[in-house]
Amino acid sequence: MRRREITSSLFWMFIGLILTIWSLTYPLGSLAQPGSGFLPLGLGILLLIFSAVLLMRALRQTAPTEEKVRMLPARWVNLALTVIVLVVAVFLFEKVGYLLIFFAIALVLPLLAGQITFRRSLIFAVLSAVGVYVIFVWLLKQPLPTGFLER
Amino acid sequence: MKLSIVGLLTGLAVAVFLCGPGYAQEDVSRFPSKPITYIVPVTPGTGTDLSVRLIAKEAEKFLKQPIVVVNKPGGALTLGTAAIATAKPDGYTIGFSGGPPLFLTPLLEKVPYDPIKDIRTIMQYGGFNFGVYVKGDSPFKTFKDLIAYARQNPKKATYGTVGVNGMPNIMMEEVAKREKVQITHIPFKGTSEGQTALLGGHTIFGAGDFSASLVEAKEIRLLMMLKDEPSAEYPGVPTLKELYNLPYPMSITIITQRNVPDAIVKKLDDAFAKAMKEPAFINGMKELQLPIIYRSGKELDPYVLQSYNYFSKALKEMGAIK
Amino acid sequence: MDFFSNLALGFGIALTIKNLSFCFLGVLIGTLIGVLPGIGPVATISLLLPTTFGMEPVTSIIMLCGVYYGAMYGGSTTSILVNIPGEAASVVTCLDGYQMARKGRAGPALGISAFGSFIGGTLSIIGLMLLSPLLARMALKFGPPEFFALMLLGLAMVTYLCRGPVLKGLVMALAGLAISCVGQDQISGTTRFTLDSITLMDGMGIVPVAMGLFGIAEVLTNLEQIVKQDILAERVTGIFPTLKDWSDSMWPIIRGSFIGFFVSILPGAGTVIPTFMAYTVEKRISKHPEKFGTGAIEGVAAPETANNAAAAGSMVTLLSLGLPSSVGMAILLGAFIIHGIQPGPLLIAKHPDLFWGTIASMYVGNVMLLVLNLPLIGLWIKILKIPYNLLFPLIVLFCFLGAYSLNNNIYDVLVMIIFGVFGYLMRKYEYEGAPFLLALVLGPMLENAFRQSLIYGDPFIFFNRPITAVLICVSLFLLISPLFKTFSQKRKTIEKVLEEGE
């Protein structure tokens, strides 16, 4: 419990520090005419103060209930792969087109969640791609990129 | 099982890169042989977006292909403009431009296109009625009255526009400099926020776009038009050109990638010029209170360059850029 | 008497077969797009607009308005079922609605939001009809200083949005404000924190961030703990709200209607802020505030009512001054104009048939929506029976599509994924998403109003004006008081209760 609190308050302190320094690169202005760095600087300083209070409270905590926190959840590989699949999909989306990308997402993600056969997931992927086409492109006429399948 | 997915994905990726850019040069005489994408860099529903939808609907008849209107708002209109500038130069991607993303924003911000080298203008089909206006019950009847007030009360004449270094702001500061008065600029997020503040008495006057219904209801009064030609819709209101001989280059144009062949641009220009004569378009523009003005791309390209140079000079004098 | 003859005129127009069928078409499309995240009324209305060119103006306006308020009905569905806010106005609904769904009470949650929407919608149409011109004038009194004070009050609501320690909520709010600074600042035009990305020039979109922080983060959290087949398919108890649900949510619905209607009239308040306010008020006056966030029906009823009331409320300035108070209203303004009708001070005098016809159609449309949405609830609940390993890819696909369709910009999807990961991590460390999102919504308006006010040249401007001074004092009190409480005994007992509750 306690370690978690310390880590997160240190994280916010770090963010506060970056924000403070970064906002100093923008014009600060005066109280009569605040510039674009005025509010971010204030936010950065407040964030520093608040995270310091959080840190102090975490340090002062006598932690009898020091439970074991596993920093990496059991299925972190699947989690990370899900995120990676999505990010890759983002970068290929406009080149490859929506149909293939959505097909690929719908094929891979159920497999990552587990407890499903490849065949069922294939059927699911085909259905999802067709469903997206029917609802979004055919009915709602959303302009989705067609990629290299373009006529 | 996992391996097979990885294999499948790699296979897909390879396939993508193999059949990627293998387009043959198309025969110009067959243009257009597929739907045309018309990129609009503003949110749907605004006056300019509606004007695009009006003309696109008419032009489809002459091009004999559907025109797909795609809104790509963001980045002060530069996001959509960048999409046009980086499109394949085959004439199937065209877009709307109002002016500022071509000769104003590129001067102030880093944008991923060069307005002169990456973009050419197909034609112009409309203009804007921008103006300087006060509240209906304001004591100021002419622009001179307003300037006189500003002279006696330095910094007290507050005015709202849609943003710092927008065209209305630059032009009002230019006018103030010539008249040697001090006015206070209060930027708002949009035209309606600015007008709301004016009606509530939180600003003295406003510059830029305005709601025609408020003029009709005498809730606001126009003192000056921010445009080059007198306005048919508002006769008797002097223009910025008449009073101060300052240009106000705002127009509704259709642009495309610089390297689109002349023959294709000519085809598009002709089709849109014909669409402008359709009654549905003429009536629609009248309802939108947008004037119809035609200019060909040949006239417009030098005009963009000229405006670009003018604003780079003006912004330097204001100290907004180095 | 005049009023009743006008209303009769309106119903005469709205109840023709043609107008009834287009009204139905409008609300049907509205419900559909409300359910689909990302595709909002704005995009849909502009898509439909060209097809209405040939219609009579009043028919077209009736249909397009139907799309607009119909979307408010549909918006709650995905919030409750899968924790994806379909639009910013249903973010608050996620807090208690999704918890209710996890407890097998998705039916009552959807039911109460349909009834609440109906009541809120109907009450605010009465307000719109009777008070429009008067209220529009009063709203004009709100200048930049008043706005700043209002936004500050909104921010003070953060202290009521969090279940855990207030300090953590405030930290999240600060982070949200900081993120809201990304992009071109609207006062001096400086581009901040964008790392030269032009997607970020207009700032972080609220909807992609919300979908990430709630929808994607939820998916990731669940993905980590899938052991059994399903997480959501707990026994679904009852489709309709029970008698106790009704008595619990009666007053929240009524208060929600008033808050939604009156707050949304203020230019710029839109439909988001009223929902947060309605939620806060309920939590503040509730006898058991600790239940909020764990599936309290009041926490669904109040904001869902408020956003429908706000849909009508935000039409006040459009119809009586011709000034749209939000993007949704701007697009409706476009629709009016394209049909040759200028909304504004002269609207009622020049086009009485259109004004009263549209108002009457809104009563009819709300009844249609209620009838349409109640049977749908049974269908929606079935969605929860889909095994999670198939449901979650569907959720991800919907979020992907929704984020993309907002601006046809793929980087919005990236923003959503990044905030999904951020939201997931924040959950692990027991920080909450709602204060972050509220701050993100309020941030730009807060900063603009603050800096606009100071440009007037008087640093004491916030204390010279009565409305402003009162609002600021109240919000400072709300913000500061819980900070002191954290050290007092009272706070500890609340935390104890909370821990036991979980």
Domain residue spans in chain C?
2-501
Q: Do A54 and C171 touch (CB under 8 A)?
A: yes
C407 has pLDDT over 60: yes
Chain B CB contacts of A108 under 8 Å are 5, 9
Q: How far apart are CA A48 and CA B298, in angstroms?
A: 58
- Nearest CA of chain C to the CA of B288: how many Å? 6
The reply to whether C284 touches chain A by the CB within 8 Å rule is no
Tell me which residue in B165, B192, B212 faces C323 most closely, judged by beta carbons: B192
CA distance C425 to chain B (A): 26
Q: What average pLDDT score do residues B169-183 get?
A: 92
Nearest chain C Cα to A74, which residue? Answer: C224
Asked if B221 and B195 count as a contact pair (C-beta separation under 8 A), the reply is no
Contacts of A14 (CB under 8 A, 6+ apart): none
Tell me the residues of chain B between 18 and 77 that have a Cβ less than 8 Å away from chain C: 43-47, 49-50, 53-54, 57, 70-76
Q: Are the beta carbons of C299 and C292 closer than 8 angstroms?
A: yes
Measured in Å, how far apart are chain C's first and last C-alpha atoms? 58
Nearest CB to C455; choose among B57, B186, B199? B186
User: Does A41 score more than 90 pLDDT?
Assistant: yes
pLDDT of residue C363: 93
- How sure is the predictor about B192, in pLDDT bands with cuts at 50, 70 and 90? confident
Q: Are A2 and A63 in contact (CB under 8 A)?
A: yes
Rounded (10°) CA dihedral C34, C38, C41, C45: -130
Q: Which candidate in B16, B18, B65 is best for mutational testing of the A interface (most A CBs within 10 A)?
A: B16
pLDDT of residue C237: 63
Handedness of CA B101, B107, B110, B114 (dihedral sign): positive
Q: Which of residues 92-131 of A touch B (CB under 8 A)?
A: 92, 95-96, 100, 104, 107-108, 111, 118
Which are the contacts of C309, defined by CB distance < 8 A and separation ≥ 6?
A: C120, C121, C123, C124, C256, C257, C258, C259, C260, C261, C264, C274
Amino acid, single-letter form, for residue B173:
E
Both tokens of A70, joined, read 């596993």
B interface test, pick of A82, A96, A121, A122 with most B CB neighbours within 10 Å: A96
Chain A residue with Cα closest to B33 = A151
Task: From residue C320, give the alpha-carbon distance in Å to each of B179, C122, C146, C313.
Answer: 37, 19, 22, 12
pLDDT digits (tens, 9 = 90+) for C71-116: 888 888 888 988 888 777 888 999 999 999 888 888 899 999 999 9
Residue A58 touches chain C, beta carbons under 8 Å: no
**Mean residue pLDDT across chain B:** 85
Which pLDDT belongs to residue B43? 74
Report d(CA A40, CA C351) in Å as an integer. Answer: 48
Q: Average model confidence (pLDDT) for chain C? A: 85
Could A96 and B8 be called an inter-chain contact, meaning their C-beta atoms sit closer than 8 Å? Answer: no
Q: In this structure, what DSSP letter does residue C293 have? A: T
- Mark which residues 39-68 of B lie under 8 Å from A by CB: 68
The H or E element containing residue B99 is none
- Selection from B111, B89, B88, B92 nearest residue B100 by Cα: B111
The answer for residues whose C-beta is within 8 angstroms of residue A131's C-beta and 6 or more apart is none
All structural domains of chain B, each given as residue ranges with its CATH number in brackets, are 32-127+250-318 (3.40.190.150), 131-244 (3.40.190.10)
**Is the pLDDT assigned to residue C441 strictly greater than 90?**
no
Q: How many CA atoms lie within 13 A of B11 on its CB side?
A: 8
Query: Chain B: nearest CA to A73, how far in angstroms?
Result: 20
What does the pLDDT read at residue B13? Answer: 47
Q: What is the pLDDT of residue A149?
A: 67
Give the three-class secondary structure for B263. helix
pLDDT in tens, A66-121: 555 555 566 788 889 999 999 999 999 988 989 999 999 999 998 888 778 889 89
Q: Which of A44, A94, A110 sits opposite C390 (nearest CB)?
A: A110
Going from the C-alpha of C302 to that of each of B67, C264, C323, the distances in angstroms are: 44, 15, 28
pLDDT in tens, C341-366: 878 888 888 888 899 999 999 999 99
Residue C328 binned pLDDT confidence (cut-offs 50, 70, 90):
confident
Query: Does the beta-carbon distance from B16 to A118 stay under 8 Å?
Result: no
Contact between C223 and A15 using a beta-carbon 8 Å cutoff: no
* C283 in Cβ contact with C150 (< 8 Å): no
- Chains near A, with 3+ CB pairs < 8 A? B, C
The mean predicted confidence, pLDDT, of chain A is 85
Inter-chain touch A43–C170, beta carbons under 8 Å: no
Output the six-digit token pair for C241. 């709200």
Query: What are the DSSP E strand ranges found in C297-448?
Result: none
Q: What is the mean pLDDT of the segment spanning B47-59?
A: 88
Burial of B36: CB neighbours in 10 Å, binned 0-12, 13-18, 19+: buried
| B199 lies within 8 A of chain C by CB | yes
**Predicted model pTM:** 0.83
Report the neighbours of B using a cutoff of 3 or more CB pairs below 8 angstroms: A, C
Which residue among C345, C408, C455 places its CB closest to the CB of B184? Answer: C455
Average pLDDT over residues B168-192: 89
Interface test with chain C among B43, B213, B287, B321, by most C beta carbons within 10 Å: B213
pLDDT at res. A62 = 63
Helix or strand run (H / E) with residue B220:
strand B220-225
Q: What pLDDT score does A50 carry?
A: 93
Helix C144-156 with C272-285: angle, nearest 10 deg: 50
Report the distance separating Cα A99 and Cα A147, nearest Å: 9
Could you say which of C224, C429, C454 has the minimum Cβ distance to residue A75? C224
Tell me the percentage of chain C whose pLDDT exceeds 70. 92
Summarised one tens digit per residue, pLDDT across range B224-245 is: 999 888 888 898 899 999 999 8
- Copy the structure tokens of residue C186: 């609207």
What chain A residue is nearest to C226 in terms of C-alpha separation? A113
Q: Give the residue on B whose Cα is nearest the Cα of C328.
A: B45
Instruction: Check residue B163 and give left, alpha or beta (phi > 0: left; psi -120 to 50: alpha).
Output: left
CA atoms within 13 A on the CB side of A15: 20
Residue B23 pLDDT > 50:
no
Burial class (CB in 10 A: 0-12, 13-18, 19+), B312: middle
User: For residues B74 and B85, what is the distance between their CA atoms, to the nearest angstrom?
Assistant: 15
Q: How far is CA A97 from the centre of its chain?
A: 23
- Least Cα separation, residue C481 to chain A (angstroms): 15
Confidence of residue B322 (pLDDT cuts 50, 70, 90): low
Choose between B321 and C259: higher pLDDT.
C259
- Is the pLDDT assigned to residue B123 strictly greater than 80? yes
Preceding amide of C459 cis, omega within 30: no
Mean pLDDT for A12-36 is: 89
Three-class DSSP category at B223? strand
Does position C465 have pLDDT exceeding 90, yes or no?
Answer: no
Residue C493's pLDDT is 55
State the Cα–Cα distance between residues B219 and C342, nearest whole angstrom. Answer: 14
